[in-house]
Structure 1
């Protein structure tokens, strides 16, 4: 039979009554707390017994302290005189136990008890959660900027699709923690003045539920691609390793008697460097191995050719519209398609480029096709294409043109400030948006052929 047990943390760091009840229940079952951590608590086997536990807080203490301060030791000695044995120290928390039913409680005055918990929460919660809010807002700004800049590409990429909901969930959880901090602090101080201790009523299961939901989001985002799952695995590895290193280094430096400031600085620097190296290693590995992190149909070159000392790839992907459908041209092209799809949108980016060794010029095509599956997103996606083709600095604009040749609902064409029309069109059918650039001026007949090949329903 195992003499060691590890359990997930299901009580709040700042809820002494819940911790005391938990430890008393475990002692009655024959388990004594040996080590406390943010994720797991470790217990050792003991004879089942009835014990009383007390949880106190010393705001000046830190996990990085090489040894307890004189004030801590004095307090622990006083507790021992009253029959309370120190079980463990964890950061600013001290856990005591006693088998004496008549032992005087350690904290009898709720005013300093509330003050100690509040000061500990302010040091551990307020600063970290405010920093987390700033990080979340910055990440949301980055994601929303990408979404606004290219909604078709963003909404069709399942690896990014759940990023915004994920950050919003973390934001709500962080705000929830801050609300608990401020609300409890105000009410607990008022209650303490009347001789009543008001415990922190936290719900750790919400944090675990958020972690579970985040895991589901990430797995769903990357599960469409085996390379995506491999990438996610290595991201988890380079996240977990710095955490394990931090715990090991923190303990090693404490054992050597290194001061709190030096320990904090060295551990933080080591974790930062390792995290940067790990992220760089994953990025380089993904590039070298050719991992396709974004799910979709993978394009592979079918050949190569030399041009000006460079080796160029040749692709031969099937395209819904090719130059050969529009003109009789004797030339060689590279045809490449990038396809990706999510529950909201299917997106294709197509290009047909002349090989650099070809003497003929101009007969090339590039176009994007966005099939919007959710109607209310249609205008948002269309506006993204419009913004991408308008530039006040370059004096480049989209103007409406006759949609009849395209058999479409709306058609726009790029125009420059001097009135010269560019052979780039934005074609809007029901549920489908196409942006196409001809590298020559197409005839009406060629436009009609392009419309037949690109319009939905084929």
Structure 2
């Protein structure tokens, strides 16, 4: 039978009611809190008991202190005299428990408690505001891209992962700040009457966001075609883990040795900075080595469905570049073929982007983006304006077709539409009816 247990419940920093209720539940199950770390809450086995818990705030607490100061020890002794036993301390919080049936509360002045909490949690409030602004900016960009640039966004699993992570961070930060300030408003009004107001945080929402981020990261790692990117992300995660362990290890070692608070703080920060510089140097070396070896190449190695050799019968020394990106929503295949000028041959080339839409609700958004592909190249004057004009889809075997025009003059650029795919095709020559039919057949099947 194990005598120790851990769990990780990321309670909101102000949710004293939720934390106390959770600890009381654990005590009834036979587990008593004895330590809180960044990696979770640590419990020791006890006989199941009905205990009362309370959480208090003190801005003077420091995680770098070797032990309680004289003031802190006096405070703990005062609480013990009232039947409240010290369980653990974390950040700016104390955790106390009492076995008495109806213990006297430690905090008796709600206005003073509000003031203490505000001073102790100031950094967390600022951090939440920073997260909110970053999440709003990056999450807003994600939403804008979803509407205006869906092809690049929905075909790239890394874009999806990071966008959803920022959006989740914004939602959590907004919910937590709203709840915190709403509680403070109610608590101030109640304090005038000498009453306390219970708290309610959003740890379940944070766990949901964290689960979404982890699933998104795993999905990206499993679907990423570039082995160099997978190794780079794994290295970054490893660096973060090593830094966290190093910081905690250095801090705890110095605390056990009785190092003064400021000495511990400076040494731990120094170790953190030096180790971070060294590890990021290793990461940079890995990145440069990967670039030289081609580990970060975007070439997919996929056989293009349409090639110049099939259209013209010419077997020139074509250079073929392909890039494939794919998610559960859509896939995007980019292909280009050309002959290097060093070869001394002047042969036509082609470029096309084949988008397979797997999720029908995004079809119109993708079509709208591809119709506006050349919009940024246009000027206000009509003769310098690129516009896709409808053309006859029959020669291509397509459902719809568009041809690019510049100032009303047709160019050899086409947008071909089928029920589940869109193709932007750019040719260096004007295709014949036979070439149109062959291209349409290959692109529809590919």
Superposition TM-score tier, normalisation by shorter sequence: 0.7 to 0.9
Residue of structure 1 equivalent to 2:403: 412
Deviation at 1:162, TM superposition (A): 4.6
Q: Equivalent residue for 2:336? A: 351
Q: What residue in structure 2 maps to residue 339 of structure 1?
A: 324
Question: C-alpha deviations, 1:188-237, integer Å up to 9, x for none?
Answer: 22222222211212242332233223323333343335847666544432
- Aligned-partner Cα distance in 2 for 1:383–1:49: 64
Shift of 1:146: 5.8
Contact 1:370 1:432 in 2 (8 A): yes
Determine the C-alpha separation between the residues in 2 that align with 1:373 and 1:103: 62
- Distance in 2 (CA, whole Å) between partners of 1:138 and 1:378 is 26
TM-score where L is the length of structure 2: 0.80
1:109-160 deviation line (CA, Å, top 9, x unaligned):
3332233234434x14321111001221332355457657753233222343
Q: Deviation digits for residues 319-357 of structure 1, max 9, x if unmatched?
A: 322222332435222333333333322321112222554
Q: 1:118, 1:185 within 8 Å by CA — same for their partners in 2?
A: no
Distance of 1:204 and 1:52 partners within structure 2 = 21
In 2: Cα distance, 1:435 partner to 1:159 partner? 23
Local SS of the residue matching 2:416? strand
Q: How far apart are 1:17 and its partner, in Å?
A: 4.1
Output the CA distance in 2 between the equivalents of 1:145 and 1:19: 38
Structure 2 partner of 1:156: 155
Distance 1:369 1:170 in 2: 33
Q: Which residue of 1 aligns with 2:184?
A: 185
Between Structure 1 and Structure 2, which shows a larger proportion of helix residues? 2
What value does the CA root-mean-square deviation take over the aligned residues?
3.8
Provide the C-alpha distance between the structure 2 equivalents of 1:369 and 1:407, rounded to a whole number of angstroms: 16
Describe the SS at the equivalent of 1:242: helix
- Say if 2:323 is the partner of 1:324: no
Q: CA deviation at 1:76?
A: 3.0
- What corresponds to 1:311 in structure 2? none
Scaled by the length of structure 1, the TM-score of the pair is 0.78
Number of aligned residue pairs: 435
Instruction: Give the Cα–Cα distance (whole angstroms) in 1 for the partners of residues 390 and 340 of structure 2.
Output: 33
Residues 133, 174 of structure 1: 8 Å contact kept? yes
Maintained 8 Å contact 1:8/1:40: yes
Report the Cα distance in structure 1 between the residues aligned to 2:165 and 2:131, rounded to whole angstroms. Answer: 14
What 5-or-longer segments of structure 2 have no aligned partner? Answer: none
- Which residue in 1 is equivalent to 2:378? 392
Q: Residue in 1 aligned with 2:129?
A: 130
State how 1:438-453 maps to structure 2 within 5 Å: 438-439=427-428, 441-445=429-433, 447-453=435-441
How far apart, in 2, do the equivalents of 1:330 and 1:180 lie? Answer: 68
Question: Could you list the runs of 5+ residues in structure 1 that have no partner in the other structure?
Answer: 300-316
